[in-house]
Amino acid sequence: MTLPIRPPLIVHHMAALDGTEPPNSLEGVRASLDAGAAFIEVDITALAQSDYLLVHDPVLESETTGSGPVGQCTPEQVRHLFIKANGIVSNRHVAVLSEVVAAFLDHPGPCRLQLDFKNMIPFPTDEPLHRLISLIKPLGDRVLVSTGADWQLRKLRKLAPWLDLGFDVQFYIDWRPPDEPADPESYPRQAGAYGYLDDHPLATQRFWSTTDYLADRCGMLMGLVPGVSTFYISHKLLAQSLDDGFNWAEELHNNNIKLDAWTLDADRPQAVINAGRLLAAGVDQFTTNTPAALRELLNGKMSDPATV
């Protein structure tokens, strides 16, 4: 394989800057902007009205000093809450999406914002989606909304044809090492005949080669949402697919879709190994909690192809 002509884009996961600020914090967003980030990703979950909270989970107690469902709180009710990371309460207040948009508008430049949309359950009305569109419209092409909930993406495509969208395939196909514990609440839940987690009937027995199976699954996934610009796929799944003779980046590029590999942290040995392989395979973006360290690592691999 040949190295990509340009180095991959580095995406700051949860506005991470190598641990200098809590995840999903406004301070992390500002620090990443000041550091010259090309892409900053944050998680968003709908509040009861007006705005979105920068949290991953649907309940406040997972990541804040509050408790109860995020969707039942107003922006005023969450303003006094602090971010909690790994059970430790920080001195940073929780952030809302409108504050992040304002920070980007105050920091003109090429940096883009990725919003990882965490509301999986369809809303009773389209109001939360209209709210999201209204909040981010001032950013124009500087913003992208991504999620594994393709049904939400199809709604957004109809409501905002101009909006850049990204799709995470994790609900449909995944791969993890045999010794890695499974989350009983996550999809897919079945170990398929080709060695991947896949609940689709096609995975119940071996009909084709593993390469052909992966190519077909990729083709199906590309058809779920019109006009998606970027696919988001676990680095572990991508590396295993290469072992099985299928390059997701190559197939997606043939259909004008970019590929982001998540989450590659420079302090995780397997992620470091996979980073070199995926760099050579042509992956466009690497999502990471250690953007500075990963950039240094990738620069070294770019300058010395023998290490890839």
In the chain, the amino acid numbered 77 is: Q
- Under 8 Å between Cβ of 41 and 114: yes
pTM, full prediction: 0.95
Consecutive 10-residue averages of pLDDT for the chain (308 residues): 65 95 98 97 98 98 97 96 95 98 96 98 98 98 98 98 98 94 89 97 97 98 97 98 98 98 96 95 97 92 59
Phi-psi map region of 198: left, alpha, beta (phi>0 left; psi -120 to 50 alpha): beta
The closest of 210, 275, 287, 206 to 241, measured between CA atoms, is 210
Pairwise CA distance, residues 223 & 252, whole Å: 12
- CATH class of the region 9-307: alpha beta
Strands (E) in the chain, as ranges, are 9-12, 39-46, 52-53, 82-85, 88-93, 112-117, 143-147, 164-168, 230-234, 258-262, 285-288
**Predicted local distance difference test score (pLDDT) of residue 304:** 60
CA distances from 140 to 12, 91, 134, 200, 272 (A): 20, 32, 11, 37, 34
**Predicted local distance difference test score (pLDDT) of residue 125:** 98
DSSP element (H, E) containing 154: helix 150-159
